[in-house]
Amino acid sequence: MAHEVRDKILTWEDLPQLLAEHRADGASVVLTNGAFDLLHVGHVRSLVAARALGDLLVVGLNSDTSVQATKETERPVLPQGERAELLVALACVDYVVVFDEPTAERLVMAIRPDVYAKGSDYATTPLPEAEIVRGYGGRVELLPLQAGRSTSGLIREIVQRFGPAES
């Protein structure tokens, strides 16, 4: 993995100092999070929209363990290291940090983003991170979803077109 890519995948220990330096320069921080398994155009469009909401985009990436706890047991398709590398290769993503919990509440508390961005599918679903963000004066933004674009749908389409994998 190239040096620049490695530098964009943060540990929890790296976060406070690095973000403090950016904020000292006047940067606003946007946070979004998800599994980002099998990166697709819906992901990319959401990430571009999230980045447009501030100066710096941090992506919280669900670890393999947290994806397995919240999605189908066969997921993720790609391991967290590869998913992180794909994300930081995108020009709109400044940093990625992996987290193990099923929700990003602890990550939100650690980062305290100016803007917390999630897909509009959360318009009717409680978003536990929203109360935290609003509590310190941050903003929650719901991003438009790309109709017909989801990892689960992509997996179904692959299986339907190509059938089950041969052993």
CATH class name, domain 3-162? alpha beta
Q: What is the pLDDT of residues 22-53, one digit of tens each?
A: 999 999 999 999 999 888 888 999 999 999 99
pLDDT of 155 higher than 80: no
The better pLDDT of the pair 105, 68 is held by: 105
Name the residue ranges covered by the structural domains of the chain. 3-162
* pLDDT band, very low/low/confident/very high, at 1 (cuts 50, 70, 90): low
**Structure pTM?**
0.89
The predicted structure's pLDDT at residue 114: 98
Q: What is the pLDDT of residues 76-108, one digit of tens each?
A: 889 999 999 999 999 999 999 999 998 999 999
Whole-angstrom distance, CA of residue 58 vs CA of residue 143: 15
pLDDT of 157 higher than 80: no
The predicted structure's pLDDT at residue 69: 84
* HEC-encoded secondary structure of the chain: CCHHHHHHEECCCCHHHHHHHHHHCCCCEEEEEECCCCCCHHHHHHHHHHHCCCCEEEEEEECHHHHHHHCCCCCCCCCHHHHHHHHHCCCCCCEEEEECCCCCHHHHHHHCCCEEEEEHHHHCCCCHHHHHHHHCCCEEEEECCCCCCCHHHHHHHHHHHHCCCCC
The predicted structure's pLDDT at residue 104: 95
Q: Structure tokens of 69? A: 């706890």
Q: What is the pLDDT of residues 99-154, one digit of tens each?
A: 999 899 999 999 999 999 998 877 778 899 999 999 999 999 999 876 666 666 77
**Bridge-partner residues for 142, per DSSP?**
118
The answer for 75, left when phi > 0, alpha when psi is -120 to 50, beta otherwise, is: beta
Mean per-residue pLDDT over the chain, rounded: 88
The predicted structure's pLDDT at residue 148: 64
